[in-house]
Chains A and B, each alone.
Chain A
Amino acid sequence: MEERQILLRNRGKINPRKASEYIATGGYEALKRALSMTGAEIIEELRLAGLRGRGGAGFPTFRKIQFAYDAPGDVKYIVCNADEGEPGTNKDRILLSCDPCAVFEGMAIVAKAVNAHVGFIYLRAEYAYLVPVLEQALESSREEHCLGNNIMGSGFDFDIKLRSGAGAYVCGEETALFESIEGKRGEPRFRPPFPGISGLFGKPTVLNNVETLANIAPIFRNGWEWYRTIGTDNSPGTKLFTVCGNVKRRGVFEFPMGINLKDLIYEVCGGMEEGRELLAVQTGGASGAIINASQIDMTLDIDQVSNSGGRLGCGTILVMDDRNCIIDIVRNNLEFFKDESCGKCTPCREGGTRLYQLICKIAEGRGSIRDIETIEDLAETMRLTALCGLGHSTAVPVTSSIQNFYSCYLRHIDREYCHVCSEEDDAV
């Protein structure tokens, strides 16, 4: 299967630090076009293109921009969420390290739409080594008059500042990210008010994922009609998939939305390693659903995946072979969420750890059916009442695995020795 490289078209082909090389491949043309458009026209183009957020939730991008466009106020901000913390996701790192100017261009177009003059890129601390690349790419974009004052002689000013995180998954949540940029603990805010009205520093703010922003320039370069020809009706465009785990060929791949998961695993990634069977796939990262081998004949677009109970999220595909145990994987997921809960709201702070304790109990052969009931009850409460998306989705891997691997839970409850789970004991 051939990749369709739109976002990754410059991967390995240009020097990411040099805006001139980006320009030589047609870069910043889209911005030039957008600079001649009104905010309403830019938003309309994105509406027609049908672009949806690539960070996880799949929210229509044009609507986010519309909120900030409609909000009163002279000062507005554009924020690029480069806090790629979802385990198993590398796409934003690839985009920023191969073609950062494409992201800047997307930010500038959104800025033009809402008349913002300052943008921030919030980069996770684990990607600190990208800072010099980004700094140089920003500087060279300014030198080419594609950023800064009076961009391309249009009279429009927009510049981008880099901000870094310091190790907190929750800062990928938009309001927590704002808090972090404001020099505080990265704790999410309650909503409403929504970021489009009151975001960074209390100003109307448009926040988008790196990949979403990278989609914008191609749309304006080639037109929305072109964009609509790629992907599915409800999820146009391509998607970056990070495939990791126990497949032969791992990596970040770009395919049109709607590719089949089974094809991705077996044809693109070469299937399981020798002599191994597929056990499970987790899509969308640690907060994604875990499905079994019989469920993988699935179309990967935003709506189809969520209809099947999971989520496409940021496009992570974690493939697990039969050397693994689902309970052990779920335990690993829950340990992650327990460590990454910001601790602000009760359900996530307390519930996350309780879920982890309950799954440990089951993994260690001390669990009962009642514990599974408690897990499901607590999971529902967390989903309904937590303050932010982290708490809402903490329990997804455990509830989905109870559904899709119930027999595995029963085996552990019957105290059948599990060598994978018990090997963990000494390490905990």
Chain B
Amino acid sequence: MREEENYSYKTPSSQLVKIAEIASHYKGRPEMLMKVITKVQKIEPAFSASVASVIAREMDIPQTQVYSFVTFYAMLSVKPRGKYVIRMCKSAPCHVRGAKEIVRALEDLLQIKMGETTEDRRFTLEYCPCLGVCEQSPAIMINEKAYVNLTPESVRDIVKRYIRGEV
């Protein structure tokens, strides 16, 4: 994806209406931005300029503030993402137990590199810091679900279930 496409992508207006509805409950309450953002993320994986401006308008805060907030937190994105975000733990406990092989298996299976999104916008591969399941490393998280004690074989099986729409 080219750099300028990262910002010019559009969010459907039907989504924006839903987002406005969420944010409108918190007008004049800037401290609730995190709550609004996490709620919005459940229905829209990425915060495009129009998403940010709708949130800003409804909460009565600057759009720049929304943008600045979103770009700070690793699990939020202003760039388009897949329906399923696969997060690979990059921290030492997973690293010492073969995280690299899991990464290779994921990249091979989805035919994208870490940090990329599949053409059909179904999967995004990302590194992330510790998932907090270190006693069962290596681990990944697909959206909000963690998968642990992975081997290249088991991770392929798991992702294939998502590909086939079984999850």
Contacts and interface: CB of A to CB of B under 8 A. Distances in A.
Interface stretch (A13-21, A147-155, A242-250, A297-305): A242-250
Contacts of A424: 100
B31 A286 contact: no
A169 B92 contact: no
B90 to A, nearest CB: 7
B141 A126 contact: yes
12 contacts: A84-B132, A85-B130, A86-B130, A89-B130, A124-B132, A126-B128, A184-B33, A185-B68, A185-B72, A252-B135, A318-B92, A318-B134
Interface stretch (A61-69, A110-118, A160-168, A228-236): A160-168
Contact of A329 (B74, B92, B97, B144): B92
Interface in A171-191: 180-187
A88 B32 contact: no
B62 interface: no
Contacts of A185: 68-69, 72
Contact of A166 (B76, B103, B130): B76
Contacts of A250: 134-136
Contacts of B34: 163-166, 180-181, 183
Nearest to A245: B96
Interface stretch (A330-338, A367-375, A405-413): A330-338
B121 interface: no
B161 interface: no
Given A332-B91, A333-B92, A168 B135 contact: no
A71 interface: no
A168 B72 CA distance: 8
Q: How large is the interface on B (under 10, 10 to 19, 20 to 34, 35 or more residues)?
A: 35 or more
A129 B145 contact: yes
A245 B97 contact: yes
A16 B35 CA distance: 24
Contacts, number: 136
Contacts of B133: 90, 93
A427 B97 CA distance: 16
Nearest to A183: B33
A51 to B, nearest CB: 24
B75 A125 contact: yes
B63 to A, nearest CB: 15
Contacts of A87: 91-93, 129-130, 134
B69 to A, nearest CB: 6
A167 B93 contact: no
Contacts of B33: 183-184
Given A90-B132, A126-B131, A336-B91, A168 B73 contact: yes
B97 A246 contact: yes
A10 interface: no
Contacts of A167: 73-76, 128-129
Nearest to A129: B144
